[in-house]
Chain A
Amino acid sequence: MGLSEGEESCLLLDEKLLRFMDQLELLQEKRNTLNSLIEQGWFSISKARYSMGNKQVSALQFANTMEPLVSVHVRTLDNDDVEFSTEKSPPEFSNGSVKEPILIEDIGPQEEGIRRRKKTKSDGTEKRESRGTGSEMDPEVNPVRKGGHNPHQDPLKWFGILVPQSLKQAQSSFKQVIELSAEIAALQIAVLNTRQELKHDLRNQESSDGAELNVSTGSKKEAEVPLTNKS
Chain B
Amino acid sequence: MAGRGKLIAVIGDEDTVTGFLLGGIGELNKNRKPNFLVVEKDTSITEIEETFKSFLARNDIAIILINQFIAEMIRHAIDAHMQSIPAVLEIPSKEHPYDASKDSILRRAKGMFSAEDFR
B22 and A155 contacting across the interface, CB-CB below 8 Å:
yes
Among B5, B22, B106, contact of A71 (Cβ-Cβ < 8 Å): B5
- Identify the closest chain A residue to B3 (Cβ): A73
Among A58, A68, A186, contact of B24 (Cβ-Cβ < 8 Å): A68
B89 and A62 contacting across the interface, CB-CB below 8 Å:
no
Count how many pairs of residues, one from A and one from B, have CB atoms less than 8 Å apart in the complex. 146
Among A28, A31, A62, contact of B26 (Cβ-Cβ < 8 Å): A62
* Residues 16-74 (chain B) with a chain A CB within 8 angstroms: 16-28, 34-35, 38, 62-63, 65
Question: Any chain B CB within 8 A of the CB of A141?
Answer: no
Q: Would A41 and B109 be within 8 Å (CB), given that A68-B24, A74-B85 are in contact? A: no
Write out the residue numbers on chain B whose beta carbons fall within 8 Å of the beta carbon of A186: 87
Write out the residue numbers on chain A whose beta carbons fall within 8 Å of the beta carbon of B5: 68, 71-73, 87
* Shortest distance between the CB of B33 and any CB in chain A (Å): 11
Write out the residue numbers on chain A whose beta carbons fall within 8 Å of the beta carbon of B7: 68, 71-72
Question: Any chain A CB within 8 A of the CB of B101?
Answer: no
Among A27, A73, A96, A177, contact of B20 (Cβ-Cβ < 8 Å): A177
Q: How far does the alpha carbon of A47 sit from the alpha carbon of B25 in the complex, in Å?
A: 22
* Residues 11-42 (chain A) with a chain B CB within 8 angstroms: 20, 24, 27-28, 31, 34-35, 38-39, 41-42
Write out the residue numbers on chain A whose beta carbons fall within 8 Å of the beta carbon of B3: 73
Write out the residue numbers on chain B whose beta carbons fall within 8 Å of the beta carbon of A178: 8, 20, 23-25
Question: Any chain B CB within 8 A of the CB of A66?
Answer: yes
Among B4, B23, B94, B100, contact of A175 (Cβ-Cβ < 8 Å): B23
Among A34, A66, A72, A192, contact of B62 (Cβ-Cβ < 8 Å): A72
Among B28, B62, B112, B118, contact of A74 (Cβ-Cβ < 8 Å): B62
* Shortest distance between the CB of A51 and any CB in chain B (Å): 15
Q: Would A70 and B24 be within 8 Å (CB), given that A192-B109, A199-B112 are in contact? A: yes
Residues 187-203 of A, flagged 1 when their CB comes within 8 A of B and 0 if not, give 01101100100110010
B22 and A170 contacting across the interface, CB-CB below 8 Å:
yes
A38 and B19 contacting across the interface, CB-CB below 8 Å:
yes
Q: How far does the alpha carbon of A73 sit from the alpha carbon of B63 in the complex, in Å?
A: 11
Q: Would A181 and B63 be within 8 Å (CB), given that A24-B109, A70-B25 are in contact? A: yes
* Residues 130-157 (chain A) with a chain B CB within 8 angstroms: 151, 155-156
Among B8, B20, B100, B108, contact of A72 (Cβ-Cβ < 8 Å): B8
Write out the residue numbers on chain A whose beta carbons fall within 8 Å of the beta carbon of B94: 42
User: Which B residues lie at the A interface, using CB under 8 A?
Assistant: 1, 3-8, 14-28, 34-35, 38, 62-63, 65, 84-85, 87, 89, 91-92, 94, 97-98, 100, 105-106, 108-109, 111-112, 117-118
Given contacts A156-B22, A182-B8, 4 further A-B contacts (CB under 8 A): A73-B5, A74-B85, A177-B19, A188-B89
**What are some 14 contacts across the A-B interface (CB < 8 A)?**
A27-B106, A38-B91, A57-B18, A68-B24, A68-B25, A68-B27, A71-B4, A74-B85, A155-B21, A155-B23, A178-B20, A178-B25, A184-B89, A202-B118
